[in-house]
Chains A and B, each alone.
Chain A
Amino acid sequence: MKPFISVNNVSYQLQNKEILKDVNFKANCYEWISIIGDNGSGKTTFCKIMMGILKPTKGEIYIDGEPLTEMALFEIGQKIGYLFQNVGHQIFAPSVEEELAFAMRFKEIDEIVISKKIEEMINRFKLQNARHIAPYFLSQGEKQRLAIATILLNNPKFLILDEPTTGLDYERKNELGKLLCQIKNEGIGIIMVSHDIEFVKQYSNRIFQIKDGRVIGEE
């Protein structure tokens, strides 16, 4: 199976400091890969490079066979969904319903289709009690579920999650784990970056580590 995400000899430098050195990494759909590493090791940087938010100083990245350099952000977003470390950076509408409708309205999709999709997502992600609430007032777990719902509306083939368990208690972590497993079983690949070793061990198919700018695997 051709890898969906292919990172070849990628390096990234910032202010004369080499954050990532000659990274080679491949990821396929139907699998959950976790990348662990200490604070400041470059985990978020690596996520942003795979998402095309940061440009590597060296090397190439291919998404579904296409070079990342030839893709605009809106195109990348349709192939890979990204959950920011701070979920507050990706929710901005006045209510949960409007948040789900946001992108669809800008793409001028039919209102009937939009309503149907909103209902689907609200039911799937258990946001029934929150539909008219402003996202900022939701709990951390609800905000995350909402963010994942908005990402999945794009039908991406992959998800990249940056420290998704921060701020979640045991129950919510388990809920998140089960949800992501379900998503993975539907064929969507997952790359999760985390320092929560327990959660990583519980759910990942493969585990890599970022150390001294290199991605070492498999633990």
Chain B
Amino acid sequence: MDKTYPLVIKNLYFNYSNTKTNAIIDSISFSVNNGQIVAIVGSSGVGKTTLIKMINGTIHPNDNKRIKGEIYIFGEEIKRLSKPQISKYMGTVFQDPDTQIIFSCVEDELAFGMENLCFPQNDMTKRIDDVLELLNIESLRYRNPNQLSGGEKQLVVIASILCLDVDIIILDEVLAQVDKKGKAKILKVLEKLKNQGKTIIMIEHDYGNLFIADSVYRLEEGKLNLFNFNGDKNETIY
């Protein structure tokens, strides 16, 4: 297996129950390289979040015998990785920032993951400095994240993931509750991260946000196919 690829999926299969005829994930194979943004689209309930949960280990093959196929993260099979080990490679940001933010100070929020993973104190301070600078949110360091705008909150959550020095960032419809200003800020940050070599997988409903993706896939009836998106951000498909 080519160890330089951050994520490789081979013949992934998953069915919620043995009685259902259509698997929610039906023999999916794809790979993502460094410095790439991949978008996944599809109707509500089709299985995009399930796919994400399988990639980030929330639905783990060691806990669930219905998963077939392989997922490799930097060449390591996911079966051999525990959830804490996976969290060193990838972080996930979800749609609702209010269920992800715990503390009343941005700095504490950023430190949380590093404290869980026993980073030394000096490293933590340095990483927080670096990440705040990268995302251009130094002014938010001592603010209460619960009082920030939706876009700023999502940036704080993204920052807390980046502090763990992850290489793969998964975004599950993070722009849904964010206004125009906030979206522009976040999309700019994603471009920056891509240029730094990070791998980004984003689930999106709004086709207006797909212009930054290098490739777009559509999940339909368990299959993942390349989606012919012509790149015009004003186009409404359908």
Contact = CB atoms under 8 A, between A and B. Distances in A.
B238 A39 contact: no
Contact of B176 (A141, A167, A174): A167
A127 to B, nearest CB: 15
Contacts of A170: 205, 207, 236-238
Given A166-B176, A171-B238, A195-B179, A39 B150 contact: yes
- Give the one of B44, B151, B238 with max A CB within 10 A: B44
Given A167-B44, A169-B43, A39 B149 contact: yes
A175 B25 CA distance: 26
SS of A interface (majority)? loop
Interface in A163-198: 166-172, 174, 195, 197-198
A139 B45 contact: yes
A40 B237 contact: no
A127 B73 CA distance: 42
A169 B149 contact: no
A140 interface: yes
A38 interface: yes
Nearest to B45: A139
B178 interface: yes
Contacts of B43: 169, 171-172
Contact of B236 (A38, A169, A198): A198
A177 B21 CA distance: 33
Contacts of B238: 170-171, 174
Given A39-B177, A40-B149, A170-B207, A139 B237 contact: no
B181 interface: yes
Interface residues of A, number: 18
SS of B interface (majority)? loop
B38 to A, nearest CB: 18
Contacts of B44: 139-141, 167-169, 172
Interface in B46-82: none
A173 B2 CA distance: 42
Interface in B76-95: 95
A31 B208 CA distance: 27
B237 A198 contact: no
B150 A168 contact: no
Contacts of B126: none
B20 interface: no
A83 to B, nearest CB: 16
A193 to B, nearest CB: 12
A169 B182 contact: no
A141 B42 CA distance: 14
A172 B176 CA distance: 15
A180 to B, nearest CB: 17
Contacts of A197: 180
Interface string A26-50: 0000000000011110000000000
A84 B43 CA distance: 23
Contacts of B236: 170, 198
Contacts of A38: 149, 179-182
Nearest to B42: A169
A195 B205 contact: no
Contacts of A166: 176-177
- Give the one of B151, B179, B181, B237 with max A CB within 10 A: B179
B80 to A, nearest CB: 35
Contact of B205 (A39, A40, A168, A174): A168
Contacts of B42: 169
Interface of A: 37-40, 139-141, 166-172, 174, 195, 197-198
Given A169-B42, A172-B44, 14 more contacts: A38-B179, A38-B181, A39-B151, A40-B150, A139-B44, A166-B177, A169-B44, A169-B205, A170-B205, A170-B237, A170-B238, A172-B43, A195-B180, A198-B236
9 contacts: A38-B181, A39-B177, A39-B179, A139-B45, A167-B205, A168-B44, A170-B237, A170-B238, A172-B43
Top 4 A-B pairs ranked by shortest CB distance?
A: A39-B150, A38-B179, A39-B149, A195-B179
